[in-house]
């Protein structure tokens, strides 16, 4: 059905989660078998409190994550979505991922709900920097403030602009496709429901069940995202 709905829809919005990134080889830092959170309590290390009170540990942790993202690249699925945007098949991407792979692959219309590891900004004055600063072990702004990744930390609200864009796109969607999200993180997981309430067809592609499967018009659990997008792309030509 997804292939048919993609062809029929005049306004398709794609929502991506960790499963989109793990196919690039990037570890899912929330998953239970991944070492990063096993060793650290995320609420203590990836929080505004840690940034203010334990800045050295905070920087060491995020430098590791920035370096980790640099080791990986977008996969074929990211490039297909970027191509679909050019062809007007996809209007917008809403993502929970912070790796910046959608933009690296060429997507322009991306709402990053949880920010990005590709940029840093000064906690004091807000000046923006590239994440290359962390790689070169530069951690302070010219004003003396601490450079932090431009992502949403525990204890922070989602970026207003990205949230508003995601809300507007969800209300406009005729087809809303979830790729690789467990839909367990609020408030991001509300967008599929908002789309559905506004009349969109909802398709959930995820290796495991989600609490939202009952609302979906189609659930796909037996295919990797990259493979599915390649199949759909071949059928589109």
Report pLDDT digits (tens) over 168-202.
Answer: 999 999 999 999 999 998 899 999 999 999 999 99
- Is 97 labelled a binding residue? no
- DSSP secondary structure string for all residues of 171-221: HH-SEEEEES----STTGGGHHHHHHHTT-EEEEE-SS--TTGGG-SEEE-
The pLDDT value given to residue 31: 53
The pLDDT value given to residue 32: 45
The pLDDT value given to residue 200: 98
Let me know if 114 is a catalytic residue: yes
- Is 182 labelled a binding residue? yes
**How far is the C-alpha of 17 from the C-alpha of 40, rounded, in Å?**
22
- Is 177 labelled a binding residue? no
Task: Give the angle 165-169-175 at the CA atoms, nearest 5°.
Answer: 155
Whole-model pTM: value is 0.92
Q: Enumerate residue ranges in the chain where pLDDT < 50.
A: 32-33, 35
pLDDT digits 0-9 by tens, 71-92: 999 999 999 999 999 999 999 9
Choosing from 114, 121, 136, 237, the catalytic residue is: 114
The pLDDT value given to residue 155: 85
């Amino acid at each position: 059905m997804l292939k048919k709905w993609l062809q029929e829809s005049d306004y398709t919005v794609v929502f991506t989660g960790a499963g989109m990134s793990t196919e690039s080889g990037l570890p899912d830092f929330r998953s239970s078998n991944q070492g990063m959170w096993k060793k650290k309590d995320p609420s203590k290390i990836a929080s505004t409190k840690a940034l203010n009170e334990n800045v050295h540990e905070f920087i060491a942790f995020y430098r590791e994550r920035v370096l980790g993202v640099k080791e990986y690249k977008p996969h074929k699925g990211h490039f297909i979505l970027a191509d679909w945007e050019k062809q007007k098949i996809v209007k917008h991407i809403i993502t929970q991922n912070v790796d910046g792979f959608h933009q690296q692959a060429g997507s322009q219309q991306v709402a990053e709900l949880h920010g990005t590891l590709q940029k840093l900004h000064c906690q004091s004055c807000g000046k923006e920097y590239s994440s290359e600063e962390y790689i070169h072990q530069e951690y302070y702004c010219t004003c003396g403030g601490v450079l932090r990744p431009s992502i949403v930390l525990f204890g922070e609200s989602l970026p207003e602009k990205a949230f508003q864009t995601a809300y507007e796109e969800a209300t406009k969607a005729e087809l809303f496709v979830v790729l690789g999200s467990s839909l367990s993180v609020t408030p991001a997981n509300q967008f599929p429901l908002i789309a559905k309430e506004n009349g969109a067809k909802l398709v959930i592609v995820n290796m495991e069940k989600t609490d939202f499967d009952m609302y979906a018009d189609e659930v796909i659990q037996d295919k990797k995202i990259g493979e599915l997008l390649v199949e759909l792309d071949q059928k589109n030509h």
